[in-house]
Amino acid sequence: MPLVVTGATGQLGRLVVEALLERGTAPDSITATGRAVDRLGDLADRGVRTAAFDFDAPADGVIGAGDVVLLVSGSEVGRRVDQHRGVVDAAVRAGAARIVYTSALFADDTPLILAPEHAATEAIIRSSGLPFTFLRNGWYSENYRPAFEQARQSGSILGSARAGRVSAAPRADFAAAAAAVLAGPGHENAVYELGGDSAFTLDELAGMAGRALATDVVYRDVDAVEHERLLREAGVDAATAGFLVGLDRNTAEGALFTGSGDLSRLLGRPTTPMEETVRSWAGAGGAL
């Protein structure tokens, strides 16, 4: 079955294409798309079809009848609902077989500040009449790389997440799960809550950083007001500081935790432990 991967010039979309190829998917059955098609040249050299596809003006002819389409959620927060609607409309016009959408954990029942656009997109897809699969992705392990570098430099991690637990996994794990859903049967109208097998608190993350760096690392948990003040003093702009504090509030509320086991079941193996990821960062010498 032909597959269309949107956002293949981004981090997750690119990893999905790589995971499909690793699974033995025929390269010429994959269409990798993005705004800057010139960035997909190496995939084209490997036999993957490539096409320009702009979420702001999705061109007809990229998605074909019978295609399974991976809609990787856009990066422009605040504009994503309209952008995603355009992709769904293009898929409907083309007669696509299914839409697979990368959503957020418990998108329709969560305080997560990023969830409303995902919930709205899910509603658009459901109302389209097309079969769907929702991959409600949890937090990426890589999102904590800046906190790890903070620990490397200062011996501490700052936050206001209290004892909230995070079910994180690397992007590559989420990408491999997406590839399994795209290429495999039996996922029509399924909703998967995806997260790492072993959740952790930021205090436990500090312990992982300390072991990886062979030094003492502490987690400094402060209240939200103090957290925002300290971020602003460190030069973080007001909007970003408010966003980061909001995410820690969501973490404290449990919005980044799932015990579903869906991700490891789709992978057919355990998810990559956060400690393993943190050790890899220690060996990277601080290069982001």
- Give the domain CATH number at 253: 3.90.25.10
Gap between the terminal Cα atoms of the chain: 37
- Average pLDDT value over all residues in the chain: 96
pLDDT of res. 170: 98
Six token digits for residue 182: 């795209």
Six token digits for residue 197: 């097998």
Residue 43 has pLDDT above 70, yes or no: yes
Same domain assignment for residues 22 and 81: yes
- The average pLDDT across 175-204 equals 97
d(CA 70, CA 47): 19
Residue 202 has pLDDT above 60, yes or no: yes
Same domain assignment for residues 88 and 132: yes
Report if residue 177 sits inside a domain: no
pLDDT of res. 284: 77
Per the structure, the count of domains in the chain is 2
pLDDT of res. 285: 66
d(CA 286, CA 61): 44
Residue 29 has pLDDT above 70, yes or no: yes
- The average pLDDT across 42-68 equals 96
Q: In the chain, what percentage of residues exceed pLDDT 90?
A: 96
| Structural domain harbouring 57 | 3-137
pLDDT of res. 286: 58
- The average pLDDT across 82-108 equals 98
Residue 287 has pLDDT above 80, yes or no: no
Q: Report helix, strand or coil for 66.
A: coil
Report if residue 36 sits inside a domain: yes
Measuring CA to CA, how many Å separate 230 from each of 217, 236, 238? 18, 9, 11
Which is higher by pLDDT, 1 or 201?
201
Report if residue 86 sits inside a domain: yes
Contacts of 97 (CB under 8 A, 6+ apart): 1, 66, 67, 68, 130, 131
Report if residue 266 sits inside a domain: no
Same domain assignment for residues 120 and 158: no
pLDDT of res. 54: 93
H-only helix segments in the chain: 11-22, 41-45, 80-94, 115-128, 145-154, 171-183, 202-213, 224-233, 238-252, 262-267, 274-283
pLDDT band at 283 (very low <50, low <70, confident <90, very high): confident
pLDDT of res. 288: 54
Same domain assignment for residues 150 and 211: yes
